[in-house]
Amino acid sequence: MVEKVRREKEKAVKVSLVQFCVGPNPAENANALEALIRETAAADAPQLVLTPEASNVIQPDREVMMAQALPLEQDPVFAMGQQLAAELSVFLCLGSVLVAGEIPGSMVNRQILFSPMGEVINSYDKIHLFDVEIGDGQHYGESEIFTPGEEALLSALPDTPAVLGHTICYDLRFPALHQALAMAGANVLLIPAAFTQTTGRAHWHVLLRARAIETGSWVLAAGTCGEHAGERRTYGHSCVVSPWGEIVAELDSETEPGILAFDLDFEKVGAARKAIPALDHARTFHLSSSH
């Protein structure tokens, strides 16, 4: 059953986060994601919808994924997102899609922001790649097949006060990226993820709260959930975190798909940054070589 957390206020930027269990078949994932997006569009009328990282495929067999990787424009989730953004007249951010890269034999982990007319406003390639041996025996070597991004990215949403700072999953662990985005004007940090169950239980909430507190920004974190191919498990727990660092809305499940709808009050950004003007006080410094 799909859980819904309703918005608190009527006059704000309306957002919806989508959480679901991504499988190895992009066409099936496109159908599942479309159903959830249509549901929240009908029930919640969001201006911005955010989906998780790897919304098109989770496939632990690297050879299979590489062999099946499509160019961005041919990916079923990309095509669905572009069509649906225009049909529903919403800003739609695919948290990321895993698609063939421009370098032959490589892939990219790419976030796509569509306009309400179905146009691609911006795309962001994940900068920090997850090369880690998790305690549950799982190996994650993203740099073995993915080409990292090199540019941080902002997107202003026309006719709203929202300025989005684009990040993906493992980027969450690098505060300098989020500080740079906020200092450049971001007041909403997008953090779609496929956090593992192990690391999610240990670090997810505290890292999300820290990035919000450090920057005085809204944090939108849409996650995958459940058990995927190869017995991989992701943490879910999609969250909205206020600029004061409070988790103000959450899908409290590791396994259940859902929709998280909320209104972002941008007066809270100003209030948080006025109370703790850390962005204004940030200074460059030199690290002494003496011990």
Secondary structure letter of residue 200 according to DSSP: I
39 included as an active-site residue: no
Q: Which of 21, 93, 169, 239 is catalytic?
A: 169
* Token pair recorded at residue 4: 């819904």
Tell me the C-alpha distance between 31 and 28, whole Å.
Answer: 5
126 is catalytic: yes
The answer to whether residue 9 is catalytic is no
Marked catalytic residue, from 14, 93, 126, 142: 126
- Tokens of residue 185, six digits: 């004007």
Active-site annotation holder among 14, 21, 53, 142: 53
Q: What is the separation of C-alpha 132 from the centre of its chain, rounded to a whole number of angstroms? A: 20
Catalytic residues: 53, 126, 169
